[in-house]
């Protein structure tokens, strides 16, 4: 298999990566045949996956604009993936030129490509780290240089917590990050689920099976399992809802039912 010039040395091109599968769903070009094959298998079970990923990105953009509207211009985006058009720094810096963004990802392709995209941008940076180790993220030189924890920060956990198994203690991870945030900070997250949407639990199990062969397994959680991630936060209206229902740009628009898969919410730290 030929290694493209943008692919860092030392990565196994035959193992699908969740961030490169996501890139494929979004129409990106930074993915390999193993990623595309895994994505196609998942799409056979759940054909609407690309639309779900687009709904995640649309939610992320609305959250960034909301945060800027609340006077928050510092963003910590963990599990940021491979940058595509309309990424956090583009949305934030269009609304507030002084906005600062730290991206975090554990995929070498995502990190390398982000560095290339962010070259010359003094107010956005990426660090290679894993959500499972919040202390390493918070103590990274990039976070120390870019973010001032004396002022509110927007923490973005978009489409990433469902890649932590219960053994990874996701509630502990989120609590550690929450405890580091200053008062007035926001946390935004989305999480995969078969509850409340059009997908059957059988489809959910099928997709989980595909992701078990990738760099991170996928864990669907119920609304009751997602809500405790917001312990210690006050929920921002309208609360924990389907992605299209969180402060839509044009209310009442008919969406493909598949985008009502999973949950989205924003909490404010008092």
| DSSP character at residue 216 | S
Q: How far apart are CA 18 and CA 130, in angstroms?
A: 13
147 occurs within a structural domain = yes
Q: Give the pLDDT band of residue 199 (cuts 50, 70, 90).
A: confident
57 occurs within a structural domain = yes
110 occurs within a structural domain = yes
String of DSSP letters for 5-74: TTSPTT--TTS--HHHHHHHHTT-S---HHHHHHHHHHHHH-TTHHHHHHHHHHHHHHHHHHHHHTT--E
- Residues linked to residue 74 through DSSP beta bridges, in sequence order: 100
62 occurs within a structural domain = yes
Write the CATH number for 220: 3.40.50.150
Cβ proximity of 28 and 82 under 8 Å: yes
2 occurs within a structural domain = no
Domain that holds residue 212: 18-226+255-269
Q: Is the pLDDT of residue 253 over 80?
A: no
Q: Is the pLDDT of residue 131 over 80?
A: yes
Whole-structure pTM over 0.85, yes or no? yes
Cα 66 from chain centroid (whole Å): 17
Dihedral angle at the C-alpha atoms of 36, 39, 41, 42, nearest 10 degrees?
A: 180
232 occurs within a structural domain = no
Q: Give the pLDDT band of residue 7 (cuts 50, 70, 90).
A: confident
Distances (CA, A) of 202 to 8, 40, 138, 194: 37, 17, 38, 9
Q: What is the pLDDT of residue 250?
A: 84
67 occurs within a structural domain = yes
Q: Is the pLDDT of residue 151 over 70?
A: yes
Q: Is the pLDDT of residue 10 over 80?
A: no
Q: Percentage helix, strand, coil, to 5, in the chain?
A: 45, 15, 45
Tokens 């927007």 appear where? 154
What is the torsional sign of CA 145, 140, 122, 187?
negative
């Amino acid at each position: 298999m030929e290694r493209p010039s943008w692919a860092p040395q030392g990565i196994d091109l035959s193992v699908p990566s969740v961030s490169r599968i996501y890139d494929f769903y979004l129409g990106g070009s930074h993915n390999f045949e193993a990623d595309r094959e895994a994505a196609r298998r998942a799409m056979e079970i759940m054909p609407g996956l690309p639309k779900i990923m687009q709904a995640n990105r649309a939610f992320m953009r609305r959250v960034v604009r909301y945060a800027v509207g609340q006077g928050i211009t510092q963003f910590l985006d963990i599990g940021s993936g491979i940058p595509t058009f309309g990424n956090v720094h583009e949305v934030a810096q269009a609304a507030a030129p002084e906005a600062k963004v730290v991206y975090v990802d554990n995929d070498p392709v995502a990190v390398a490509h982000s560095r290339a995209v962010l070259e010359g941008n003094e107010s956005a940076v990426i660090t290679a780290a894993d959500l499972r180790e919040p202390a390493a993220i918070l103590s990274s030189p990039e976070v120390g240089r870019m973010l001032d924890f004396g002022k509110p920060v927007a923490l973005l956990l978009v489409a990433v917590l469902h890649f932590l198994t219960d053994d990874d203690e996701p509630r502990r991870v989120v609590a550690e990050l929450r405890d580091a945030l200053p008062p007035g900070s926001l946390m935004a997250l989305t999480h995969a689920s078969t509850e409340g949407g059009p997908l059957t639990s059988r489809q959910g199990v099928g997709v989980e099976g595909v992701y078990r062969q990738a760099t991170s397994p996928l864990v669907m959680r119920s609304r009751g399992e997602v809500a405790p991630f917001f312990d210690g936060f006050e929920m921002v209206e309208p609360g924990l809802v389907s992605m299209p229902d969180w402060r839509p740009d044009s209310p009442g628009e008919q969406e493909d039912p598949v985008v009502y898969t999973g949950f989205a919410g924003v909490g404010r730290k008092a």
